[in-house]
Structure 1
C-alpha cells in the first residue's frame, strides 16, 4: 500500500493483521485484488448494505449494485459521496482510479467510467473488502 494518509481509523499493521482474515488484509491493507468470480458478493442479489470489512463503515447499498460481468461486485454509486476516496493509480502499466474507504483508508477496488445510468460509473470492488448486512 502506498504512503497515502487518510481516514479516521488508524491502527498498527499488527492490529490490522489480528483483526482481518488473510484475504481481507491482503486486499484492504496491501492493495491486493482477488481473482474475478472468486470473492464474495460478485453474484449476490440480496437486498442490504455493504460495509467496510475493516471498520464497518457503510459503503454501498444493493439498490446501486449491478451485474457488470467483470467478476467483482459492481455498483454505480457509493452509499454517500464521502464514503470513499479516489486516488490516481498508475500501477500495472495503466492509469486507473483507486477507491479506498474514507474512514480507514482500506483499499476497496477501482472506479471506471463505463457504468450504467444515472452516474455512468462502475465501482468495481473486491468482495473480501466488504461485509454484507441483509435488509
Structure 2
C-alpha cells in the first residue's frame, strides 16, 4: 500500500477533539507520549499497514516493525518517502527528531539513529497515534 498524494488535512481543535479518543488527541495534537509498554501495538506482528489514527495516512508497513525493547512500536522506515515529516524537538531538555504525519501534522513519536540494518533508524511511535489496517 503506497500512499496516494493527498492534500493536507486541517481541522479545528474542536473537530480534532470530536474525531479522536482523548488519548489519541493528547498524543497527536498535544505532542504527548504514552507510557512505555502500555500501547496496544508494542508486541503485535500481524501483517498490514499502520496508518495515522487522525487521518488514515499510510505510515509504516508491518514488515518494517521490529522489537526495540524500548516499550513503543518501532519501525526501520516509513511506508514511502513523504509519508512522514521530521522536525527538531528541543522539549524536555533534549534535542530529538520529532516525527509527524505528513498529511495532518499529527505527532507520531521520534526517530533515533540506533535502529537495525538496513536503515540504522528506529522510528519509535506511539500506539495511540496509529491504527493497524490488516493485509
Aligned to 2:80: 80
Alignment of 1:1-135 (within 5 A): 8-135=8-135
Q: Per-residue deviation at 1:84? A: 0.4
Q: For residue 87 of structure 1, give the secondary structure of its aligned residue in structure 2.
A: strand
**Distance (whole Å) between structure 2 residues aligned to residue 89 and residue 113 of structure 1:** 15
Unaligned runs of 5+ in 2: 1-6
* Structure 1 consecutive aligned stretches of length 4 or more whose deviation exceeds 6 Å: none
Q: Distance in 2 between matches of 1:45 and 1:9?
A: 29
CA shift, 1:65, in A, is 0.3
Q: How far 1:40 moved relative to its partner?
A: 1.4
Does the residue aligned with 2:82 lie in a helix, a strand or coil? Answer: helix
* Distance (whole Å) between structure 1 residues aligned to residue 27 and residue 103 of structure 2: 16
Aligned mates of 2:42, 2:60 — CA distance in 1: 13
For these two proteins, the number of residue pairs brought into alignment is 129
Q: 1:106 offset after TM fit, Å?
A: 0.2
Superposed CA RMSD in Å reads 0.8
